[in-house]
Structure 1
Amino acid sequence: MPPNPHEHIAEPPKDCTHCPRLVALRLENQRKQPDWFNGAVPSFGPDDAQLLIVGLAPGLQGANRTGRPFT
């Protein structure tokens, strides 16, 4: 089996701090909804997919709540 060309791509940690605006939003949402996912949303799907869908910042009651984009 050939090596996976995407192995080197790491998922961001749930508490990623690269985007100050998203950090502030996440902290506020964690305060308001501590039982929600409230973090960088992991990707899913096959590595060899021919279509990539990129979303904006997590939707307040979508991925931010569930940890899964487009829910």
Structure 2
Amino acid sequence: MTISKETFSSDCCKCSRLAKFLSEVRVTHSEYFARPVPSFGDPNARLLVVGLAPGMHGANKTGRPFTGDHAGILLYRTLFEQGFSSAAVSKSSTDNLELKNCRITNAVRCLPPKNKPIGEEIKNCNGY
């Protein structure tokens, strides 16, 4: 099986609904990342953690998957305890946390309205 490895773009606008929503979020939360969130960690890692989509006040704010939200508290602590993370807490995308043989991503790279992506949006992100 051949897996497509499209180059990720933080300027992606393939999904008009998501692009429109992120544009609105950038107005109401100008300090937020509010762009497609890239994967974090080694692309050839042994462990891949896949979330559904960035959370409004988590990855959408910080630009790093599972950073700044409640789900990330448990995830990064567990990764640290199992030797996959250099720290137990992920505070921001600039906190020097490093993953070890682990990669974290989302099925959909952009924050969807009401945290509910649709099938076409998931399909559009499959190449990443």
Is it true that 1:32 corresponds to 2:28 in the alignment?
A: yes
Q: Which residue of 2 aligns with 1:10?
A: 7
Q: Which residue of 1 aligns with 2:57?
A: 61
Structure 1: runs of 5 or more not aligned: 1-7
1 CA distance for matches of 2:65 and 2:26? 18
- Contact persistence 2:10–2:35 (CA under 8 A): yes
1 CA distance for matches of 2:65 and 2:37? 7
Q: CA RMSD in A?
A: 1.5
Identify, as 1 or 2, the structure richer in helix: 2
2 CA distance for matches of 1:66 and 1:39? 10
Q: Give the match's secondary structure for 1:52.
A: strand
TM-score (norm 2): 0.44
TM-score (norm 1): 0.74
Report the CA distance shift for 1:57/1:21 in structure 2 as closer, same or farther (over 3 A): farther
After the TM superposition, which segments of 4 or more aligned residues of structure 1 sit over 6 Å from their partners?
Answer: none
How many residue pairs match? The answer is 63
Q: Which residue of 2 aligns with 1:5?
A: none
Structure 2: runs of 5 or more not aligned: 68-128
